[in-house]
């Protein structure tokens, strides 16, 4: 059966970043998402170059036998173009991009992937991720050292192991071939979407049955409502029966590739970025599809306000350096990578006490990526609340060494509070002193009318006051005072978690 694609693409700068470094291309035979990185050093340029090199594949000339090779060579060509651009403009050093691409050839779909953008397929009601993230955290998951849930919150989840860039040579993409089946729906997206919208929500949105353009818009709006700390880009494509569905032929380019046109003289063939720009109208757009007109960005915002904050450089700026950290440390111990490692700090445990470490809280095989920078010998990990013990054992990441020591100060206060709480719980509470038994008055003198030999008998109950008799009062019962509650200190430099201080000060554990 001959198949065709009905598709739409959408890209948004997000609510924090000041420029869009993502690019995407959607055409009748080719779908590509490229997530650029490098901050103002050129992430937008890198993703545009990738789109420019892959876009010419959007045609009928590829057979099932050579489609994967064509994709692979296009990825290599994008890497060469990127290196050439850095040679011409050294200020772009450090830029890079992910690439996730689907190429339709007959009834099959060829997939090429490098980086942490993702491809999913919705088939028979199930949403399946068909790419694997090339990240440091994913290697920990593969080794069984992290669960998927832990990986989603890991501080190094954006450190890339493989990506197109000028700082590493390993640019081999993952390649696979899939059978195209009418009814399948594909999603290609940058981590600006998959990183903030859950798998279940992605499934529900894709399965709702709306057309690709409406679905793309819904996905981006979900990311915006979640805070959209990164650029958000997605392509939704439905596989349809070419015999019953009208063909769609209009290509769509969104994101940086529509805007990033370098103004320089060219000699001979046009550049990669120029080839990509030539495939679509030169009007900036936020959404485009094969069967709808491009919609201006302002019309799609739905009154969502952009937050004009300074660009937060650390995450994407460090993603690419993270590649150096893992690869250079393992392979060659490169000076640049090691220096980056030495700029990282976390709070952990050493010989049972709290310590500040310099480096990363994970090891790569036999290579340790951290060492002790200082210890707080007065803070036993066993003295901490259970919640804090677990955090220290996992490693509490800090931005700087001074921040790490502030965390230590907070832990010291928590440990002291727990010790005081445990000591108070171990001290016996005062008990009431038993009242002395009442002393009975002497035997009463027999009165007239009394039977001879009879004596006064104390009743079983408390003695009743008689005429002329004196009763002995019981000693006052001491007042029982409850132990004063322990007031736990507040954390002036509290770690990021919001657990109550000392709320789980159980018995100390070894």
Domain parsing of the chain, residue ranges: 3-264+271-300, 342-426+490-510
The set of residues, in sequence order, having a beta carbon less than 8 Å from that of 451 and lying 6+ positions away, is none
pLDDT at res. 366: 53
Q: Please state which architecture CATH assigns to domain 3-264+271-300.
A: 4-Layer Sandwich (3.60)
User: What pLDDT score was predicted for residue 288?
Assistant: 56
Gyration radius (Cα) of the chain, Å? 36
Whole-number pLDDT of residue 159: 85
CB atoms within 10 A of CB 155: 16
Question: Structure pTM?
Answer: 0.57
Q: How far apart are CA 504 and CA 411, in angstroms?
A: 14
Of 101, 134, 94, 116, the residue nearest 35 (C-alpha): 116
> What are the start-end ranges of the H helices in 261-350?
272-277, 297-300, 314-331, 335-341
Q: Distances in Å between the alpha carbon of 315 and those of 15, 159, 320, 399?
A: 15, 9, 9, 12
Find out whether 355 and 375 touch, Cβ atoms under 8 Å. yes
- At residue 57, φ and ψ (nearest 5 deg) are -75, -10
pLDDT recorded at residue 504: 61
* List of the chain residues with pLDDT < 50: 261-277, 280-287, 290-336, 434-503, 507-510
Measured in whole angstroms, the distance separating CA 132 from the mean position of its chain's CA atoms is 16
How confident is the model over 152-193, as pLDDT tens digits?
A: 878 777 788 899 998 877 899 999 999 999 999 999 999 999
Question: What digits encode the pLDDT tens for the residues 283-312?
Answer: 333 445 544 333 333 332 232 222 223 333
* Cβ pair 187, 234 in contact under 8 A: yes
């Amino acid at each position: 059966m001959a198949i065709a694609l009905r598709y739409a693409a959408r890209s948004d700068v997000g609510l924090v970043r000041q420029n869009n470094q993502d690019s995407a291309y959607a055409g009748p035979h080719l779908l590509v998402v490229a997530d650029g990185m490098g901050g103002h050093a050129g992430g937008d340029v890198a993703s545009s170059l990738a789109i420019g090199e892959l876009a010419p594949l959007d045609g009928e000339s590829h057979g099932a036998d050579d489609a994967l090779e064509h994709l692979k060579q296009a990825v290599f060509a994008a890497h060469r173009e990127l290196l050439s651009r850095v040679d011409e403009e050294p200020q772009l050093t450090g830029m890079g991009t992910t690439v996730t691409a689907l190429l339709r050839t007959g009834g099959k779909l060829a997939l090429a992937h490098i980086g942490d953008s993702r491809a999913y397929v919705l088939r028979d009601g199930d949403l399946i991720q068909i790419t694997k993230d090339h990240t440091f955290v994913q290697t920990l998951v593969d080794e069984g050292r992290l669960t998927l849930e832990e990986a989603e919150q890991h501080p190094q989840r954006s450190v890339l192991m493989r990506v197109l860039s000028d700082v590493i040579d390993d640019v081999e993409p993952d390649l696979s071939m899939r059978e195209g089946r009418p009814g399948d729906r594909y999603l290609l997206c940058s981590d600006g979407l998959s990183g903030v919208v859950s798998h279940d929500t992605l499934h529900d949105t894709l399965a709702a049955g709306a057309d690709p353009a409406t679905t793309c818009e819904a996905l981006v709006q979900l990311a915006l409502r979640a805070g959209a700390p990164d650029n958000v880009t997605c392509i939704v494509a439905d596989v349809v029966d070419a015999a019953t569905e009208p063909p769609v032929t209009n290509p769509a380019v969104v994101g940086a590739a529509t805007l990033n046109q370098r103004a320089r003289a060219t000699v001979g063939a046009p550049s990669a970025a120029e080839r990509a720009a030539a495939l679509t109208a030169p009007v900036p757009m936020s959404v485009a599809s094969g069967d709808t007109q491009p919609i201006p960005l302002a019309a799609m915002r739905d009154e969502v306000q952009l937050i004009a904050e300074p660009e937060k450089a650390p995450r994407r700026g460090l993603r690419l350096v993270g590649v150096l950290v893992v690869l250079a440390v393992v392979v060659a111990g490169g000076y640049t990578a090691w220096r980056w490692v030495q700029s990282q700090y976390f709070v952990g445990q050493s010989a049972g006490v709290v310590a500040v470490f310099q480096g990363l809280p994970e090891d790569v095989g036999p290579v340790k990526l951290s060492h002790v920078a200082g210890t707080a010998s007065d803070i036993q990990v066993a003295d901490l609340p259970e919640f804090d013990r677990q955090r220290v054992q996992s490693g509490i990441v800090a931005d700087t060494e001074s921040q790490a020591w502030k965390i230590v100060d907070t832990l010291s206060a928590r440990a002291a509070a727990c010790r005081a709480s445990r000591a108070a719980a171990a001290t016996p509470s005062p008990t009431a002193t038993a009242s002395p038994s009442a002393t009975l008055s002497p035997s009463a003198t027999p009165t007239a009318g009394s039977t001879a030999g009879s004596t006064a008998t104390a009743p079983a109950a408390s003695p009743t006051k008689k005429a002329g008799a004196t009763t002995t009062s019981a000693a006052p019962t001491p007042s029982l005072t409850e132990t004063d509650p322990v007031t736990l200190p507040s954390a002036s430099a509290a770690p990021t978690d919001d657990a109550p201080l000392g709320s789980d000060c159980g018995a100390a554990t070894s």
